[in-house]
Amino acid sequence: MGQKENYIYLYGIVPVYELDKTPFSPFAGIDKEHKAAIATYGDIAAIYTEVDAEAYEGEALESRMKDDLEWLQESAMHHHEVLLSLQKKYTLIPMKFCTIYLSQDSLEEKLREQADTIQSLFIRIKDSEEWNLKIYCDDEPLREHVLQHSPSIKEKMQELESLSPGRQFFEKRKIDQLVDGELEKEKNQFCEQIHAELTEIASEEKVKTAWSKDVTGRELEMSWNSVYLIQENQVEAFLKLVQQKNEESASSGWRFEATGPWPAYHFVY
Amino acid sequence: MNTRETIDRNKDVSLIDILDVILDKGVAIKGDLIISIAGVDLVYLDLRVLISSVETLVQNQSGNTRMDITSEAFDKQKEELEHGSAAAEERANPFRS
């Protein structure tokens, strides 16, 4: 033959018994040529699609990502959307983008090797959803609050008046820095507090890096970015609390954004 | 209507949100990326290549309103992603130190 066998692009792993309840319906795979399929190994079912070995081998994939940007965007979206829909039906261990095995055999070998880990992951994420919370903040109202309410800063402001204009300039800059520091502290405390309350509802949590303003392209600063694994029957309570906090603190410049349910990306690795 | 429906479930999720999660963890930034599940090594990619292509993608598609992020912003975003991934192992939380 001389032709390479297809590679295996793995979307995710689900428990076999759930397939009896909700049969798998095939969909078009990432290359739009092959259909997604199921392979079962004991209690574990892998949802995958075959991909051409030459197109999806390391170097080819790399250059494709460089040269075919529409493909990249489309494929990343495809991957995500597939996982979203699988997650609605099954207890899904989601794979990262372009998780590719060289053959069915190598996939099977790895899955069998990892069977215990996979089983415990199923238990961990069963009937749970991943939600992301980003908290944004308008610094101005908070800065004003700090200026008005911090005793040490108030004191320094009063001292300022008795100084010469030259000293005033430098002391003022010092105070600004102090206010900045206080502001950060206030913001962190606020977010930490919210996070602690949400963590009580969630079964697991992870704090992520908050993106800078340049990243988000927004006017408001992102102060907090975290993910939660939440039991399905707790999701409503979680979202209610987020909404309540949002309403309570909107006038102080805070804005909460929850997105989900995501595949449990952050809780399976 | 319950709270669930009032929250924008994935409605405004951008490509960067998606890349952030589908690439975020299990990746090594220095050198070639090994995509892994629970420590299993698979075909490797280079994340930096991917991220820099996304940057170009955004530049190329600046007319597309799906992502109104400037290329400059994307540089930062790239850093964030790289930082986020590099720190993934230790999960550094600046607020908890």
Chain A residues with CB under 8 Å of B87 CB are 209
C-beta separation of A91 from A126 below 8 A: yes
A61 to chain B: which residues are within 8 Å by CB? 43, 45
| A253 three-class SS | coil
ipTM of the complex: 0.71
Which residues are CB-neighbours of A133 under 8 A, at least 6 positions away? A198, A224, A225, A226, A227, A228, A242, A256, A257, A258
Nearest to A199 by CA among A165, A227, A170, A157: A227
pLDDT in tens, A3-47: 678 989 999 999 999 999 999 999 999 999 999 999 999 999 999
Nearest to A234 by CA among A189, A199, A269, A264: A199
Residue pair A229/A128 in contact (Cβ under 8 Å)? The answer is yes
Residue of B nearest to A192 (CA): B95
Amino acid at A83: L
Q: How far apart are CA A265 and CA B3, in angstroms?
A: 23
Q: CA-CA distance, A53 to B93, in Å (whole number)? A: 40
Distance CA A222, CA A187 (A): 10
Q: Nearest-CA distance from B63 to chain A in Å?
A: 14
pLDDT of residue B70: 39
The answer to whether the predicted template modeling score (pTM) of the entire model surpasses 0.90 is no
Give the pLDDT of residue A2: 47
β-pairing verdict for A7-15 and A100-101: antiparallel
Q: Using 50, 70 and 90 to split pLDDT, how confident is the model at B26?
A: very low
Could B9 and A100 be called an inter-chain contact, meaning their C-beta atoms sit closer than 8 Å?
no
| pLDDT, tens digit (0-9, with 9 covering 90-100), for A40-68 | 999 999 999 999 988 887 777 767 766 67
For position B40, what pLDDT does the model report? 29
Say if A138 is an interface residue toward chain B (CB within 8 Å): no
SS3 A199: helix
Of B10, B25, B50, the CB nearest to A259: B10
Could you tell me how far CA A240 lies from the centroid of its own chain? 20
Mean pLDDT of A167-179: 89
Distance from C-alpha of A55 to C-alpha of A31, rounded to nearest angstrom: 10
Chain A CA closest to residue B76: A215
| pLDDT above 60 (res A256) | yes
The per-residue pLDDT for range A80-124, each reduced to its tens digit, is 889 999 999 999 999 888 888 888 888 888 888 889 989 999 999
Tokens of A50: 């075959």
Q: How many residues are there in chain B?
A: 97
For an interface test with A, which of B11, B14, B18, B64 has the most A Cβ atoms less than 10 Å from its Cβ? B18
| Alpha-carbon separation of residue B78 from A132, A214, A215, B74 (angstroms) | 20, 11, 8, 6
How many alpha carbons lie under 13 Å from residue A175 in its C-beta half-sphere? 21
